[in-house]
A = this chain, B = another copy of it.
Amino acid sequence: MNSSRKKEWHTGAAFLLSQLGAHVAETFGRRIVHLGITRPHAGILRFIANNPASNQLGLAKRLGVLPSRMVILIDELAAKGLVERKRSIRDRRHSELVLTTKGERTLQKLRKIGAQHEADLLAGLTRKEREQLAALGRKIVHHQGLIPEVHPGFRKLGQC
């Protein structure tokens, strides 16, 4: 409270990014809770929409989630009628994942929510600053070897 002694660490960009990232993730999670899904679910819906007929294991590998966990996540999406498993005809071991009509509608809602979320997050920045931020972010993502569109927070291999 009363730390008049100001020898504190200067908050660097790394801490800021981590702090903001956790905040963004948390608030987004709260924004979609009424849809009955969690952030990983939302990420999967989005991924399936962008990559139709993905199979579970490919999805799991791409998103860094364990196959056994992916089964549960897809089960939950299927139980909500958002996703369907279609057995592949050519190789009946594969299930091709497709969005149902309800899943498409949910995705539309997610897009609206995401847009609003983004608008609120950046409300304090000018248009130019927003572009700067996005450009800097993409630059780091690229330099760090991260896969665009793939969120590393879905996997939970011990949180170190």
Residues on A lying within 8 angstroms of B by beta carbon are 1, 3, 8-9, 11-26, 28-30, 32-33, 38-39, 46, 50-52, 58, 111, 114-115, 117-118, 121-125, 129-130, 132-134, 136-144, 146, 148-153, 159-160
Q: List 9 A-B contacts (CB under 8 A).
A: A9-B149, A11-B148, A18-B151, A19-B146, A19-B153, A21-B22, A21-B24, A21-B153, A125-B143
Interface of A is mostly: helix
A39 to B19, CA, bound (A): 12
A133 to B132, CA, bound (A): 8
Copy number in the complex reads: 2
Residue of B whose beta carbon sits closest to that of A122: B13
Q: Contacts A12-B134, A51-B3, A140-B125 given: A160-B29 contact, CB under 8 Å? A: yes
CB-defined contacts of A20 to chain B, threshold 8 Å: 17, 21, 137, 140-141, 144, 146
